[in-house]
Structure 1
Amino acid sequence: MTRSRKAEFLSDVHQDNANSFPQWNPRETNCVALPGRPVRGREAELARIEQALDDAANARGGVLLVEGARGSGRSRLLAETARRAAERGFDVVSAEANELARLVPLAPILAALGEPQPVPGEADHSFAGLDDRWSRQLAHVRGRLARRIVKRPLAVLLDDLQWADPVTLLALRILPAQLAGQPLLWMLCRRTDEREPYVAQLYDQLLAAGVATPLRLQPLTAPAADEMAADLLGGAKPAPEVNALVGAADGNPAVLTELIEGLVDENVVVCSDGTARLVHGNASALLPQRFRSLMRGRIDALSPSTARMLEVAAVLGRSWLPDDVVEMLGTSTAELLPCFQEALAARLLMSTSDTMVFRHDLVWRSITESIPPAVCAALHRQAARMLLDRGSPVVSVAVHLARGARPHDVEAVAVLKNAATEVMTSSPRTAVEFASRALELTDRDGSTRPALTAVLVEAHTRAGALGRAVAVAANAGPETPAPALHRSLSTALLLRGEAREALAVSEKALAAASVTPETREALEINRLAALAALDDDALGSEVRRCTGDSPGVLTVLATARWQRGEFAEGLRLARAAARAAEEGAPFPWHLDPRIALAAFLVQSRREDEARQVITVLDGDIGRSGLDVLASVPHLLMAQLHLAAGRVEEAASRAHAALAEPVTTHTPIAHAVLAAVALRRGDLVAAAEHAHHLDGVRPVHWRAQTRWVRTQLTATADADAGFSLALLAEEPAAAAWHVRTALVAGEADRAAAVLRRIAAADHCPAADHARGVRDGDRSALERAVRDHVDEWARASAAEDLGVLLTPDDRNAAVERLDQALTAYTAAGAERDAARVRRRLRGLGVRRRHWRTADRPESGWDSLTNTELSVASLVTQGLTNKQVATQMFLSPHTVGFHLRQIFRKLGVHSRTELIRFGPNAGRTR
């Protein structure tokens, strides 16, 4: 709170002293001080204050010496002491010293006692040689204090003693000793960032005399700062991204107050559902004006030389070498030593073994942004020249040229291009910044522009901005040499799933006469990858005929074989590609052979090996800054969890993948989420995710869409095509297609599916499909035995149980129980419900609920079955429709609905929807 608000608070505590506060210094904004808000992180200090109040109340006197940096909470502690003293029956008087009143002897003490203040004279009233006038005044003050403590205990609270006059300091050295053993508590406060030797001497003497207790206000601990942030947010729990900003205050209550209240006032933080979140989730753009002003005030409070040193240092970065600042300022380390020490004491900097660091990113940025742009650019140019002359790494120079170079600076453009190329494999986003800036500085017809454009397209592609990469390439103009740029463009198109466009770009570039051998090889691999992705038999045959042992070629060949159902050969080639890459053979970064290998291992249900490959791949993608591939490990793990029946983990990983840049791999997330929704019986959610698969490329996803649609409608698909690659991902898909075709009376379609999978080396799926079509018990038993996928095994067991039902009831029940157990393990609630219905038809009832400790009312009181019913009802389904989807009778659905109404305290379907929209959804 501001000092005027603090005065109001203290006035409420003790009305007699409303006029004892001089005008507060408006430059300083103090910590939280609204009545009722707790003091955070000062538990030890408050305990000492309580003890001092006890001692004073029992006529043992006492002196508390409080000291802390600007904004550390001294005034808040004074206010809290005044409140607690007043509650104990103390007479509380308080005031502060003032810079403008330093020539008035005894000004703060007289103000606290309500005494008239003398007119300042010309004499220098020092510790020595006091005249009789001030001796009499001291005696008068001592008498006033003695008369007041006769009535009740007295607390004298004095702040900002760093500005006190010498007579006041002498009085505070004498009076506590003269009034020792009386019900009198002195609380003396000073700021440590104002160097006043006399007040420091006073503190030392009082401590040495053993009559005072020190209270040194250190920065708040991280937990205390978090608690204070929550208080400032009205009790809302700060979200992680908000908590991350709390460190900018460095434990300073005033800075923290201005930061949080500034974020709220400027609508950067909003509080909803008891949580405070950033509006845009982006901390990099957050610098509230109040925070900037406070930081500017902290800088202005320093000496001019220190402020200038910090501004130059801020241009060099958050961390910097002292030698660089010395050189920039054209001085010596010895001359700057006081500046370094002052900045460290002000807790703006930290020192490591060889560098200096600004304490927090926002502190650094607030200083940088306070420098006029033209001046800042000039300082960046000066820093770049210094580093160039020194022979520093090109990236270090480029950081400054990106912010300070002038247009048409040929040397700057060359440095930025080289730097972009150098950081491409570790930080594509930085490469984008360097290459973009270099293009801005280059003439439209400059000779370096084509090469810069190719670098920028690749950087955008690696960073995941695929649309931007394609747009930059399109705007390059026909004069741009094709091969280098088209290599990067074809990669971006492949990652967007635009295989046909990538093929056209690659073939055009390969026809150019200027293509280098290295670029030709990369373009040829991209062309083969595009051919394989098109899933065209004629084009695919060309891929299968190609030869080569490079990791890139082997990866494309492995993918082509896998898509044709040659799973063993595809896995062998993928292993060979990964092995070659491990031995150091180069490969296109977007066709990392470990991606294909991990995918094939997942689809082969080799979980342990797949997990090892994914873990290594994830680490390498992170270290390379390949945001465009950041979703791949999440997607692979989502498929792995789904295959193992861990639907919660699968959904979590799929949602994490959707938070990353959209690529040709993204549809996997929607396929996983559709499968999870189907297993949970949430057909609306499944349809939503299936919609995201419509029209995506490459064409393989059309098969995934048909597969989801088939499960949603339980009818045969109108498209006779069937993807063999889908067979590996969904081993029960072939049997499902055959089953739905037979139900629709389309035996020819069922036969077409069987012919299609005849070439696939995936015996369990073929046995499963054949067993369904032919009613072959032996084939289904082999499928139950050989299926590795949990859900596919359950499906085969269910089909076998249905086949056995007319002739062998006991065997049918055994197989259906096996299917029920497997479906339950796979999280397939909807399928498990269907099997329970089949068992009921055989006179066998299996429990479909679990005993759990639940409350008696509210959404948490509902069972899983009740939640599923509520979910479907809130989507607008009738009881009969719910019964059909959950494989229950309408009567049973009605029973569950009555239980839901009772537990939620509602009386109709309309009230249910209004009571908790979407609350019953069980995604």
Structure 2
Amino acid sequence: MAGSGGSLSRSGLRGREVELDELRTLIASVPHTGSGALALVQGEAGIGKTTLLAEAVARACEAGFSVGLGKADELHHIVPLSSLAACVLHGDQPLLSGDAFADLARHHDQRIWLVERLAEAIEARADSVPVLIALDDVHWADQLSRFALKQLPARLRTSPVLWILTARQEPAGPAEEIVAAATEELPTVTVPLGPLSGAAIGQLAGDTLGAAADERVRDLLDGAGGNPFLAVEMLTGLRNDGASAEPVPSGLVLGVRARLRSLGPETLRFLRLGAVLGRRFGFHDAALLCGQPSTTLIPALEEAVRAGILDDDGDQLVFRHDLLRQAVYVDIPPSARKVLHREAADHLVSAGHRPIDAVSHILRGAQPGDEEAVTLLRRAADDVLPVTPGLAADLMTRALELVPPARPQGFVVGEQAIVCLTRAGRNREALSTGDRLLARRPPMEVFSRLQAALGGTLWNMDLADELRRRTETALAVGGAAPEVGARLAALRALALSRGHDLDAAREAGETALRAAITVGDRNAHVLALFGLGEIALNAGENAIALERFTALSAVDPAYSPEEIVAYQHMDDFNTGERLLLQAADNAGSFRQAMLLWAQAQQHLGLGRLDDAEADFVTMERLEDDVQIPVQQVNARVIRSRIALLRGDRDAARQHLAAAQKRLAAKPNPGNTAAVRFLEAVIAEDDGDIGLAVDKIRQVQEEGPFMRWRLLRTWVDSAIRTALSGADRQLAEDLAAQAEAHAERNPAVPTATGIAAQALGLVKNDLAMLERATALLGTSPRPLVRAAAHADLGQALLAAGRKPQAVAALTRAHATLAESGAHAAAARVQQVLDGAQAGGHRAATKQRPVQGWEALTASEKKVARLIAEGHTNRSAADFLVVSPHTVNTHLTSVFRKLSVNSRVQLANVVVALRDH
């Protein structure tokens, strides 16, 4: 806020006493509670945000905080993580060393993984001292920093971490998004800075001029509109130039032109070129742009510093305020700015900067036909695609605009644009881009490449028939390069996996795999194996699916989650657990949300309902974070069934509504079948058996190939519904399906046992139900075993074999209760009560909603570990789960115990231990 005069650390806060007290209170609360908080300081340019932030940082340092302070930059907002980098790398004790940060940035391949590593670094520091992360001008933060800032405050809410951000007031801008993401998770405060009062402006005048302002000065200051920076600049101009200072046109910083007029021509030129480079720029870069040796510009630098326009921090030159830079920048004619930005891009690249560092200048200075600019944008897009696919898509969209339509280069650039747009989840835009390029009637080889590039787009959009049509057309046209032909063949097989002729799909997949291996194309190899895995799953051939997905994860470890789930389908949960452990050690190599899906399926299969629920919740949040929904419909269907097993009917219906909403956005056959089945389950729970039967019949008729995937372990439930609705034909169809599935998977106890159970239910065959429980004796799935024992128990009662019935029902009850399926256990208990007729009744204890006993077993483990001083990472390592899952558990613990910090949690745990 200061001009060229001395420090205004106190006078710069004139009129901000209330706002400073609000921040001071927040600073004091964080170490006291041991939990996080966030403050946003908002106001127009020059209103005093930076000065208030600097004072807050000083107060936090005095209070013993470890501080990370950074500032986002208008011209550097393209560079991924550049804004947060300053926060974690600067200060007396940086949160990360430069080498550690460089390694992090170099090896990251997923946004979620990167954010988690940053969270661990901050959490580790907060374990010994409260932490302040302060970021100025967050409205200019790069996309990856903004993404991280929307995750980190909530992720670290249980640690003493204070976030203070400043931003200009922008409706629905980045700052508002960050605050909205944190609001329900931790205390948030917005501190608006309005215009200063006349009295405060008068005090500023006295501080700057060394005397009280006279009437003439007060009249002049009215033009500042209560903006302290403009007022100080006007006062500085008066002090330097006396009565000669003249107001300048509205929209420019008052007094700046007067100050610039006193500077030499070389200094003015140096400042203008520096303003093109940004608020912070390197002296050497400015010299290159000036076209002069650095030594000849030292006098210009010294004069700019003396005039109060620039600061020299030893590493870079910095305009003292954004408005100062803008005042210098707007005096450059617009046409000259474009040329200078374009030259700046060339100089930065030739000086060894990364392409992404030059992109801001390319976007401002490139003209259509600029091939060098297109090349730079393409290189930059490649660099940022793994962590900011949205930015990569923006860069490639701009690159495509710079290529004149008649040039063949447009097809190459367009292909890359399609890939980036698809990775960013902007599938409709990718398809539109591809179709525009195809409308230009490209050569056959290019036609094939574009159709292959659109393959992932169409698959993401669930347009399997269109994918098949396009790939078959491209293959029929011919002219494709061998590797492109192999990809097209693999994509065709993948599309056929959603059809009814799975034999033809399998043959196509095998052919595609041979072609991929022959040409040595990794992309084609991955696509072919993935397609063959999908085909095997849809055919109910679990062993073959495992073989395909094991081969796939060997080629691309990112597909390890599919391999893990394939082992689960084979009842091999031990191998699944081992692979999950390996994945936890190499989390950066996998798709985090899919890995959580595999972990949730592991817990679900082993009857750990609470842990499965936590993983599904976390998985859905991560998919929301990256805006790429894959398993959200299925997760909600499963969570609804878990809720019914627990007895939470309201939650079950909420999950159904969420699943239906997500189905509308992704209506593929699998999602449709899953939601229809859930609608049947809810309808039966509501007592509408007719509707329930109709929904199950829809599943059977509309998506027969999905039956193998959907009803593996739920077919018994569907059969009971069909029998309740007196639809014997449907029940028999379901039983035949279970038998066919068992024939395909004779080595899977769950498959053979459920087939016997299904047949026993349909035929009311007691011997077959007994065989089912025997076969399921080696199944690792407790809920499946419990259901079979419950069916057997009721059949034994009907046969008059009460002792054996009570034994079977008691076993079912115990298993269900141990898994947390309290409502299901209660239903079995009712049957037991009738069987025992006044005998001893085993209690089914319902879990309360608040207090220590409301916590699940996993939540209690997490609570004890955190109370002992563990971080989320160390607790996750101890429990062999994801840190994301620990955070989900911990959030639930805080809610159920009504605590807001780790300190309060530790007190609760200690008190329980003492009693």
> What's the TM-score bracket when you normalise by the shorter of the two chains?
0.5 to 0.7
Q: Which amino acid aligns with 1:564?
A: A
Percent of aligned positions with the same letter in both sequences? 19
Looking at structure 2, the residues matched to 308 and 273 of structure 1 have their Cα atoms a distance apart, in angstroms, of: 44
Matches of residues 834-849 of structure 1 in structure 2 within 5 Å?
Answer: 834-842=827-835, 843=837, 845-849=841-845
Instruction: Assess if the C-alpha contact under 8 Å between 1:30 and 1:75 holds in 2.
Output: no
State the superposition RMSD in angstroms.
5.5
2:450: which partner in 1?
485
Q: 2:415 aligns with which of 441, 454, 461?
A: 454
Task: Indicate how the Cα distance of structure 1 residues 743 and 318 shifts in structure 2: closer, same or farther if over 3 A, else same.
Answer: farther
SS at structure 1 position matched to 2:497: helix
Task: Indicate how the Cα distance of structure 1 residues 833 and 70 shifts in structure 2: closer, same or farther if over 3 A, else same.
Answer: closer
1:565 equivalent to 2:535? Answer: no
**Deviation (angstroms), 1:649:** 0.5
1:608 equivalent to 2:608? Answer: no
Looking at structure 1, the residues matched to 806 and 410 of structure 2 have their Cα atoms a distance apart, in angstroms, of: 73
1:786 equivalent to 2:778? Answer: yes
Q: 2:811 aligns with which of 791, 795, 818?
A: 818
Instruction: Assess if the C-alpha contact under 8 Å between 2:640 and 2:655 holds in 1.
Output: yes
Task: Indicate how the Cα distance of structure 1 residues 666 and 510 shifts in structure 2: closer, same or farther if over 3 A, else same.
Answer: farther
1:554: which partner in 2?
529
Q: 1:701 aligns with which of 648, 671, 676?
A: 671
Greater RCO (Cα-Cα under 8 Å, separation 6 or more): 2
Matches of residues 862-881 of structure 1 in structure 2 within 5 Å?
Answer: none
Task: Indicate how the Cα distance of structure 1 residues 572 and 781 shifts in structure 2: closer, same or farther if over 3 A, else same.
Answer: same
Looking at structure 2, the residues matched to 785 and 558 of structure 1 have their Cα atoms a distance apart, in angstroms, of: 29
Instruction: Assess if the C-alpha contact under 8 Å between 1:429 and 1:460 holds in 2.
Output: yes
Looking at structure 2, the residues matched to 419 and 240 of structure 1 have their Cα atoms a distance apart, in angstroms, of: 23
Q: 2:727 aligns with which of 720, 735, 746?
A: 746
**Deviation (angstroms), 1:382:** 1.9
Q: Which amino acid aligns with 2:529?
A: L
The one-character-per-residue Cα deviations of 1:537-576 (angstroms, maximum 9, x if unpaired) are 4643534653535443233222212221211121122212
Instruction: Assess if the C-alpha contact under 8 Å between 2:756 and 2:769 holds in 1.
Output: no
Task: Indicate how the Cα distance of structure 1 residues 805 and 699 shifts in structure 2: closer, same or farther if over 3 A, else same.
Answer: same
Task: Indicate how the Cα distance of structure 1 residues 790 and 437 shifts in structure 2: closer, same or farther if over 3 A, else same.
Answer: same
2:618: which partner in 1?
653
Q: More helix by proportion, 1 or 2? A: 2
2:656: which partner in 1?
687
SS at structure 2 position matched to 1:475: helix
Looking at structure 1, the residues matched to 759 and 604 of structure 2 have their Cα atoms a distance apart, in angstroms, of: 25
**Deviation (angstroms), 1:503:** 1.1
Looking at structure 2, the residues matched to 524 and 641 of structure 1 have their Cα atoms a distance apart, in angstroms, of: 37
Matches of residues 656-735 of structure 1 in structure 2 within 5 Å?
Answer: 656-659=621-624, 660-663=626-629, 665-679=631-645, 680-682=648-650, 683-692=652-661, 696-714=666-684, 715-716=692-693, 717-719=696-698, 720-721=700-701, 727=708, 731-735=712-716
Task: Indicate how the Cα distance of structure 1 residues 476 and 811 shifts in structure 2: closer, same or farther if over 3 A, else same.
Answer: same
Structure 2 gaps, min length 5: 3-7, 29-49, 59-128, 138-147, 155-161, 197-224, 237-255, 518-524, 685-691, 746-750, 857-915
**Deviation (angstroms), 1:444:** 3.2
Further displaced range: 331-340 or 746-755: 331-340
**Deviation (angstroms), 1:684:** 2.0
1:596 equivalent to 2:565? Answer: no
2:598: which partner in 1?
636
**Deviation (angstroms), 1:692:** 4.0
Instruction: Assess if the C-alpha contact under 8 Å between 2:822 and 2:846 holds in 1.
Output: no
Matches of residues 211-230 of structure 1 in structure 2 within 5 Å?
Answer: none
**Deviation (angstroms), 1:523:** 1.3
2:86: which partner in 1?
none
TM-score using structure 2 length: 0.57
The one-character-per-residue Cα deviations of 1:704-749 (angstroms, maximum 9, x if unpaired) are 2343233223343224458576556654322222222233333333
**Deviation (angstroms), 1:295:** 7.2
The one-character-per-residue Cα deviations of 1:231-264 (angstroms, maximum 9, x if unpaired) are xxxxxxxx9759979xxxxxxx9x989x479579
1:766 equivalent to 2:744? Answer: no
Instruction: Assess if the C-alpha contact under 8 Å between 1:603 and 1:728 holds in 2.
Output: no
Instruction: Assess if the C-alpha contact under 8 Å between 1:594 and 1:617 holds in 2.
Output: no
Instruction: Assess if the C-alpha contact under 8 Å between 1:794 and 1:822 holds in 2.
Output: yes
Further displaced range: 471-480 or 567-576: 471-480
**Deviation (angstroms), 1:752:** 2.2
Looking at structure 2, the residues matched to 735 and 405 of structure 1 have their Cα atoms a distance apart, in angstroms, of: 65
**Deviation (angstroms), 1:35:** 10
**Deviation (angstroms), 1:500:** 0.9
Q: Which amino acid aligns with 2:643?
A: A
SS at structure 2 position matched to 1:534: coil
Instruction: Assess if the C-alpha contact under 8 Å between 2:149 and 2:178 holds in 1.
Output: no
Looking at structure 2, the residues matched to 365 and 822 of structure 1 have their Cα atoms a distance apart, in angstroms, of: 69
1:429: which partner in 2?
390
1:496 equivalent to 2:464? Answer: no
Looking at structure 2, the residues matched to 471 and 25 of structure 1 have their Cα atoms a distance apart, in angstroms, of: 55
**Deviation (angstroms), 1:779:** 2.0
SS at structure 2 position matched to 1:804: helix
Looking at structure 1, the residues matched to 831 and 769 of structure 2 have their Cα atoms a distance apart, in angstroms, of: 18
2:14: which partner in 1?
30
1:516: which partner in 2?
481
**Deviation (angstroms), 1:701:** 3.0
Looking at structure 2, the residues matched to 489 and 748 of structure 1 have their Cα atoms a distance apart, in angstroms, of: 43
Aligned length: 630
1:831: which partner in 2?
824
Task: Indicate how the Cα distance of structure 1 residues 770 and 468 shifts in structure 2: closer, same or farther if over 3 A, else same.
Answer: same
Looking at structure 2, the residues matched to 295 and 277 of structure 1 have their Cα atoms a distance apart, in angstroms, of: 35
1:40: which partner in 2?
24
1:575 equivalent to 2:554? Answer: no
SS at structure 2 position matched to 1:489: helix
The one-character-per-residue Cα deviations of 1:847-886 (angstroms, maximum 9, x if unpaired) are 343586969xxxx99999xxxxxxxxxxxxxxxxxxxxxx
Q: Which amino acid aligns with 1:479?
A: R
1:736: which partner in 2?
717
Instruction: Assess if the C-alpha contact under 8 Å between 1:532 and 1:543 holds in 2.
Output: no
**Deviation (angstroms), 1:454:** 1.6
Looking at structure 2, the residues matched to 539 and 366 of structure 1 have their Cα atoms a distance apart, in angstroms, of: 69
TM-score using structure 1 length: 0.57
Q: Which amino acid aligns with 1:713?
A: A
Looking at structure 2, the residues matched to 242 and 293 of structure 1 have their Cα atoms a distance apart, in angstroms, of: 33
Task: Indicate how the Cα distance of structure 1 residues 539 and 667 shifts in structure 2: closer, same or farther if over 3 A, else same.
Answer: farther
The one-character-per-residue Cα deviations of 1:49-89 (angstroms, maximum 9, x if unpaired) are xxxxxxxxxxxxxxxxxxxx976999999xxxxxxxxxxxx
Which structure would you say has the larger Rg?
1
Instruction: Assess if the C-alpha contact under 8 Å between 1:31 and 1:71 holds in 2.
Output: no
Looking at structure 1, the residues matched to 731 and 312 of structure 2 have their Cα atoms a distance apart, in angstroms, of: 73
Looking at structure 2, the residues matched to 310 and 666 of structure 1 have their Cα atoms a distance apart, in angstroms, of: 53
Looking at structure 1, the residues matched to 732 and 486 of structure 2 have their Cα atoms a distance apart, in angstroms, of: 43
Q: Which amino acid aligns with 1:691?
A: Q
SS at structure 2 position matched to 1:832: helix
The one-character-per-residue Cα deviations of 1:860-918 (angstroms, maximum 9, x if unpaired) are 99999xxxxxxxxxxxxxxxxxxxxxxxxxxxxxxxxxxxxxxxxxxxxxxxxxxxxxx
Further displaced range: 443-452 or 604-613: 604-613
**Deviation (angstroms), 1:478:** 1.5
The one-character-per-residue Cα deviations of 1:132-154 (angstroms, maximum 9, x if unpaired) are xxxxxxxxxxxxxxxxxxxxxxx
**Deviation (angstroms), 1:458:** 0.9
**Deviation (angstroms), 1:527:** 0.9
Structure 1 gaps, min length 5: 3-23, 45-68, 78-220, 230-238, 246-252, 583-591, 622-628, 865-923
Task: Indicate how the Cα distance of structure 1 residues 226 and 814 shifts in structure 2: closer, same or farther if over 3 A, else same.
Answer: farther
Task: Indicate how the Cα distance of structure 1 residues 266 and 604 shifts in structure 2: closer, same or farther if over 3 A, else same.
Answer: closer
